[in-house]
Chain A
């Protein structure tokens, strides 16, 4: 391959036709396959959310039947958690970027990578079948004995769908871990890795250790429902609370599966838009590992009122607060990075700053909820709903959209319209807070989650929340429009439209199939803005994209 010119073949035009996409082993194309998959499930989950918020516009249950409402919030949770929040950033951005960032040609196991996407789509399709057949009404948590004995909905189909999907997470995590261990370019030492890679390493660690546990748990639930095993049935000597233990042993770490990749993106954005090395690089790197490890020790805080012993509750309460330490390390270090940085407020940076805001509120209310006494007051209220939306949804979506904008020129070779990008970032931030902040107040006043009707005095706050959801929906639709528009009409981006550091900005946009025309050799730290390049990335620093 020659290295002259930039108008050569890239991963997008190297091959043509549907088959070249469906059978591709290229990690970049697989990333785009995930983009389509997760976007579809996000849209579907969003429609369920819309119906929920419309029902809650009025105190009376007038839009849907109570049974329908139960299905709506269950399907909203299942679609969003398992088929959007968990796979979105690793599947799309992680797949696309990790091999490029570490300077190699592909992930360690390309065929397994494609298989992971097919498993994801298979799990999604099975779940979708369950949805089309009427959905489930158990909540996304599938607690027995309701799910195993009483619910008359499609628990089997949906449970199998989620079970299958889990193997996609496990295999992707395994693939990333081996890739990061064994495929780094010469000179790319562990402490030269971009923090994006550290974050994904920590996520993969949780995926490999945690996801198998939810797999066996859901399998037992499916067997329990189909053959009445009795493992979760108290009348046969089983214990429904055991399900909760096993479920949260995965599903609490799963929150970190969602947010660690987002934090990984935020570190990249903060460095690029302050023109500085992330303050306390080592601390930020290790805080990801810290969150991954501590995340496995806190599951019991979901069960403070499930009959768990008060001693276990106290221990889990204390352990939960420990997670605040690595989380705070990240937030403080990002903030210090801003200090005396050359800060610019492009769309990705607006998302990154929005992330810090939402994560602070979400994280701090997490400490409230981890406090045994307070949790008993607000358990199963909208306070919990608001908290986990701030952390999981606010956290993940801000990172996902910020990262998607930041790397969009690299992925597609074209820039998006900056003005509309900033508009969408503002709309998402405002809409998000307007949707979920009132829910903190509602929850504190005692409004329980998962009911389709409520007393009239709570209507104002619910109307505010629904109004916020509309703004938020607009904020999501806007990028869908202009990103698609930019595929054809966006300005050509060039190699490094942001003047950023990192191997991904040294190769063409879009990159060639093998990622680099010449295999890279790394000789500098990550984010070396103050080093030889004099703070403007690689040689000749191009003008900003707008």
Chain B
């Protein structure tokens, strides 16, 4: 590989093509293990929702659907800017690449800020599992605690993935500013995009499962 990005080719690969295929396959396998990781949580959710649908419906009433919806829009927008970033890298347009990556990062941070306000509201209303937990509806009471445990475990795991994603994004952005990526070498941007979309998709499942399902079955609160 004498042309273009010979510096991007690691010594143990024969060609950039082989290197690209290897890292893309690696990323997909990583996402497979992510699916299994979140799968354990989703399994737990399904089991407990099936056991006590009433408590789950009551619990979801205490989630802030406006903020949840706002965050859904923010994340979908960030997936769009991420896809545009990958496209910019593929077409060797450096300035749009930097712009779209920055926009993705800002949207990711916005998601976390909204999440922070949601979490602190839960804390104030004693909806964080533990000794201080108190659910206002006497008919449900402590039964809602498992719902909120799962809410924090699932959205917490998701938020952790967002934090890691933003850190990775900063690293990709640094490469973009230094002009590392163009049509002949854009694999890191593309693979990071896969990760970002995956984290987005997790939220697309979390939002209806935690905020929406069964909400209209439950009159109170």
Given A223-B153, A230-B146, A237-B145, A212-B33 contact (CB < 8 Å): yes
Minimum CB–CB distance for A389 against chain B, Å: 28
Residues of chain B lying within 8 A (CB to CB) of residue A107:
12
- A217 CA / B43 CA spacing, docked (Å): 11
Please provide the chain B residues from 37 to 64 with a CB less than 8 Å away from any CB of chain A in the complex.
37-41, 43-44, 47-48, 51-52, 55
A522 an interface residue at 8 Å Cβ cutoff?
A: no
Once the chains bind, are B130 and A228 in contact (CB under 8 Å)? yes
Residues of chain A lying within 8 A (CB to CB) of residue B145:
229-230, 236-237
- A110 CA / B23 CA spacing, docked (Å): 12
Which single member of B12, B29, B55 contacts A110 (CB below 8 Å)? B12
Once the chains bind, are A212 and B18 in contact (CB under 8 Å)? no
A295 an interface residue at 8 Å Cβ cutoff?
A: no
- A211 CA / B30 CA spacing, docked (Å): 12
Chain B residues bordering chain A, tally (CB within 8 A): 39
Q: Across the interface, name the chain A residue whose C-beta is closest to B33.
A: A212
Q: Is the interface of B mostly helix, strand, loop or mixed?
A: helix
Once the chains bind, are A108 and B22 in contact (CB under 8 Å)? yes
B158 an interface residue at 8 Å Cβ cutoff?
A: no
Given A181-B25, A242-B47, A215-B12 contact (CB < 8 Å): no
Minimum CB–CB distance for A236 against chain B, Å: 5
B36 an interface residue at 8 Å Cβ cutoff?
A: yes
Residues of chain B lying within 8 A (CB to CB) of residue A109:
22-23, 26
Minimum CB–CB distance for A227 against chain B, Å: 5
B129 an interface residue at 8 Å Cβ cutoff?
A: yes
Once the chains bind, are A174 and B47 in contact (CB under 8 Å)? no
Residues of chain B lying within 8 A (CB to CB) of residue A174:
26, 29-30, 33
B149 an interface residue at 8 Å Cβ cutoff?
A: yes
Given A230-B149, A237-B143, A242-B21 contact (CB < 8 Å): no
Once the chains bind, are A213 and B36 in contact (CB under 8 Å)? yes
Residues of chain A lying within 8 A (CB to CB) of residue B12:
104-107, 110, 183
- A105 CA / B13 CA spacing, docked (Å): 8
B150 an interface residue at 8 Å Cβ cutoff?
A: yes
- A223 CA / B22 CA spacing, docked (Å): 36
Once the chains bind, are A237 and B52 in contact (CB under 8 Å)? yes
Once the chains bind, are A178 and B129 in contact (CB under 8 Å)? no
Residues of chain B lying within 8 A (CB to CB) of residue A242:
44, 47
Please provide the chain B residues from 119 to 156 with a CB less than 8 Å away from any CB of chain A in the complex.
129-131, 142-143, 145-146, 149-150, 152-153
Q: Across the interface, name the chain B residue whose C-beta is closest to A110.
A: B12
Which single member of A170, A182, A223, A230 contacts B25 (CB below 8 Å)? A182
Once the chains bind, are A229 and B36 in contact (CB under 8 Å)? no
A209 an interface residue at 8 Å Cβ cutoff?
A: yes
- A242 CA / B49 CA spacing, docked (Å): 14
- A473 CA / B154 CA spacing, docked (Å): 46
- A103 CA / B207 CA spacing, docked (Å): 48
Once the chains bind, are B40 and A216 in contact (CB under 8 Å)? yes
Once the chains bind, are B36 and A230 in contact (CB under 8 Å)? no
Once the chains bind, are B37 and A215 in contact (CB under 8 Å)? yes
- A175 CA / B157 CA spacing, docked (Å): 24
Residues of chain B lying within 8 A (CB to CB) of residue A179:
22
- A236 CA / B52 CA spacing, docked (Å): 12
- A217 CA / B52 CA spacing, docked (Å): 21
Please provide the chain A residues from 233 to 254 with a CB less than 8 Å away from any CB of chain B in the complex.
236-239, 242, 246
Once the chains bind, are A227 and B130 in contact (CB under 8 Å)? yes
Residues of chain B lying within 8 A (CB to CB) of residue A227:
129-130
- A231 CA / B18 CA spacing, docked (Å): 45
A220 an interface residue at 8 Å Cβ cutoff?
A: yes
B118 an interface residue at 8 Å Cβ cutoff?
A: no
Minimum CB–CB distance for A23 against chain B, Å: 15
A210 an interface residue at 8 Å Cβ cutoff?
A: yes
A411 an interface residue at 8 Å Cβ cutoff?
A: no
A177 an interface residue at 8 Å Cβ cutoff?
A: yes
Residues of chain A lying within 8 A (CB to CB) of residue B26:
108-109, 112, 174-175, 178
- A229 CA / B30 CA spacing, docked (Å): 28
Residues of chain B lying within 8 A (CB to CB) of residue A209:
32-33, 36
A208 an interface residue at 8 Å Cβ cutoff?
A: yes
Given A182-B18, A182-B25, 10 more contacts at CB 8 Å?
A107-B12, A174-B26, A177-B29, A178-B25, A208-B32, A231-B146, A236-B142, A236-B145, A238-B146, A246-B40
What are 30 pairs between A and B in contact, CB < 8 Å?
A108-B22, A110-B12, A170-B33, A174-B26, A174-B29, A177-B25, A178-B22, A179-B22, A181-B22, A182-B25, A183-B22, A208-B33, A212-B40, A213-B37, A216-B41, A216-B157, A220-B40, A220-B41, A220-B44, A227-B130, A229-B149, A230-B146, A230-B149, A236-B142, A237-B48, A237-B145, A237-B146, A238-B146, A239-B48, A242-B44
Nearest first, the 6 A-B pairs at minimum CB distance are A216-B40, A212-B37, A229-B149, A106-B12, A212-B36, A105-B12
